[in-house]
Chain A
Amino acid sequence: MRQGGHRRTAIGLVLVATASSGCLSYHRTRIDEPLPDAALAELVDGRTTLGQCLQVLGAPTAVLEYRGDGMALVWSWQDEDQWGLEVSLPVSDQANVNFNLDLGAADRPGAVLWFGQDLVLERWRRGRLGELIPRRVRPASPEESGG
């Protein structure tokens, strides 16, 4: 009797395992290409002009306003990979119980070049964009700002 119970449990587990689908996945996303270190090494604060930068580095990802007539040029790229575990267990004909487990997440790397009003390079930095560019804040409406 006890042996039969174990056998039924084992058969039940095998049936559930067969009916469910689970998989391990490795996913990599690459968006655009990193700026070459050699090109960035050519930049000289206070000397390199906007035209020279564009000629060497090409088009930036974004252009931001900086101190009135100045500008900040942003290059960014992405190379992220992550492992994931996905298990899907059918609990009825219309619904699945599933969950995802992602083991990777990272800020986008990039480089920012700041130009003053004379369009000569003030400085440049390479790193995580979140650390290079201040988070942009939505302008407050007159009611919110109390004005």
Chain B
Amino acid sequence: MSTSRLALLGALFLFSFSSACALGRMEQNDPLDAAAIGALQPGKTTAREVVEALGAPTEVVQLGRRTAYRYDATTTKGAVLFLVVLNFANVDGRSDRLWVFFDENDVLSHYGASFGTHRTQYAMPWEDVHEDGDNAARDADRAGVGTAGGGK
């Protein structure tokens, strides 16, 4: 067997034992519009105006005479490290979520919003993905986020 063929076989043998990694990302719905949510005014905004601004809700809940609408979006990032016989995988999923509450006259009484889709990270299982510094840095790149809410 020639030296070059031996080298090729050796390289293939080493390659078969080398590590690999994979990244995946999944998104459900568009991230919520923080500016549109900031314009909501408890005691004034109607259900019709909310739907005109934000579109159809994901869920509607009847709460006696009141109603609540849910809007949401989710981003999930997955990372896998293959080490042949030992594999590591991590999934980090976060959501933008908005709940709007209406009184019996379909006028907004309360709302609560959380924004998390931009905080999702590719990471390994042993890494902390909820560090305050990481969250703050990502929040700085997206205007108007954090948690928001209130009532009349």
| A63-B68 contact in complex given A30-B93, A50-B110, C-beta closer than 8 Å | yes
- Closest chain-B Cβ to A78's Cβ sits at a distance in Å of 8
Q: How far is the CA of A63 from the CA of B149 in the complex (A)?
A: 15
Give the chain A neighbours of B90 by CB distance below 8 A: 27-30
Taking a contact as CB atoms under 8 Å apart, the answer to whether B89 and A28 are in contact is: yes
Chain B CB within 8 A of A145 CB: no
Interface hit among B7-15, B23-31, B58-66: B58-66
When C-beta atoms are compared, the residue in chain A nearest to B113 turns out to be A59
Taking a contact as CB atoms under 8 Å apart, the answer to whether B97 and A27 are in contact is: no
Q: How far is the CA of A34 from the CA of B93 in the complex (A)?
A: 13
Q: Say which residue of A24, A30, A64, A69 sits within 8 Å of B66 (CB atoms).
A: A69
Taking a contact as CB atoms under 8 Å apart, the answer to whether B149 and A54 are in contact is: yes
Chain B contact residue count (CB 8 A cutoff): 41
Give the chain A neighbours of B152 by CB distance below 8 A: 51
Q: How far is the CA of A23 from the CA of B19 in the complex (A)?
A: 13
Taking a contact as CB atoms under 8 Å apart, the answer to whether A65 and B150 are in contact is: no
Chain A CB within 8 A of B38 CB: no
Taking a contact as CB atoms under 8 Å apart, the answer to whether A26 and B150 are in contact is: no
Taking a contact as CB atoms under 8 Å apart, the answer to whether A58 and B85 are in contact is: no
Q: Say which residue of B70, B85, B92, B150 sits within 8 Å of A54 (CB atoms).
A: B150
Taking a contact as CB atoms under 8 Å apart, the answer to whether B65 and A69 are in contact is: yes
Among B66, B111, B116, chain A packs the most CB atoms within 10 A around the CB of B66
When C-beta atoms are compared, the residue in chain A nearest to B95 turns out to be A32
Q: How far is the CA of A119 from the CA of B109 in the complex (A)?
A: 11
Give the chain A neighbours of B66 by CB distance below 8 A: 69, 71
Give the chain B neighbours of A22 by CB distance below 8 A: 85
Give the chain B neighbours of A70 by CB distance below 8 A: 63-64
Taking a contact as CB atoms under 8 Å apart, the answer to whether B112 and A54 are in contact is: yes
Chain B CB within 8 A of A100 CB: no
Chain A CB within 8 A of B86 CB: yes
- Closest chain-B Cβ to A35's Cβ sits at a distance in Å of 10
Taking a contact as CB atoms under 8 Å apart, the answer to whether B65 and A65 are in contact is: no
Q: Say which residue of B65, B129, B149 sits within 8 Å of A59 (CB atoms).
A: B149
Taking a contact as CB atoms under 8 Å apart, the answer to whether B112 and A60 are in contact is: yes
Q: Say which residue of B68, B99, B130 sits within 8 Å of A33 (CB atoms).
A: B130
Give the chain A neighbours of B93 by CB distance below 8 A: 29-32
Taking a contact as CB atoms under 8 Å apart, the answer to whether A59 and B91 are in contact is: no
Among B63, B68, B129, chain A packs the most CB atoms within 10 A around the CB of B63
Taking a contact as CB atoms under 8 Å apart, the answer to whether A32 and B116 are in contact is: yes
Give the chain A neighbours of B129 by CB distance below 8 A: 30
Q: How far is the CA of A56 from the CA of B150 in the complex (A)?
A: 9
